[in-house]
């Protein structure tokens, strides 16, 4: 997505989104599957830090920008739906 590719620092929004998603999944109901989902969400936050050019990591940077941005936007939608309902 060119909106995020022109200024990668905008991807820092995804870091906060992934942290909120991790916290919300633990608060919702404490189960081992939710702990695993929270760990994966925090890893997504790490990838967002790499994509925003704050941390250098060639393996995480190899992930396609378009797919990562699309997945992050979809996870925001899921988080909003989960909080509302």
In this predicted model, what pLDDT tens digit does every residue of 7-30 receive, in sequence order? 888 899 999 999 999 999 999 888
Give the count of domains, the chain: 1
**Confidence band, pLDDT 50/70/90 cuts, at residue 37:** very high
**CA-based angle 62:70:79, to the nearest 5?**
120
Supply the range of the domain harboring residue 69. Answer: 2-84
Q: 63 — phi, psi (to 5°)?
A: -70, 135
Residue 59: is its pLDDT beyond 90?
yes
pLDDT reported for residue 42: 95
Residues 39, 85, 74: CA angle, nearest 5 degrees:
50
* Bigger pLDDT: 84 vs 5: 84
């Amino acid at each position: 997505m060119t909106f995020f590719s022109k200024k990668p620092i905008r991807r820092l929004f995804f870091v906060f989104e992934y942290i909120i998603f991790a916290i919300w999944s633990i608060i919702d109901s404490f189960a081992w599957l939710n702990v695993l989902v929270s760990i994966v969400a925090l890893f997504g936050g790490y990838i967002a830090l790499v994509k925003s050019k704050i941390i250098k990591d060639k393996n995480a940077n190899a992930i396609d920008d378009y797919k990562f941005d699309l997945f992050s936007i979809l996870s925001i939608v899921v988080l909003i739906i989960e909080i509302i309902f």
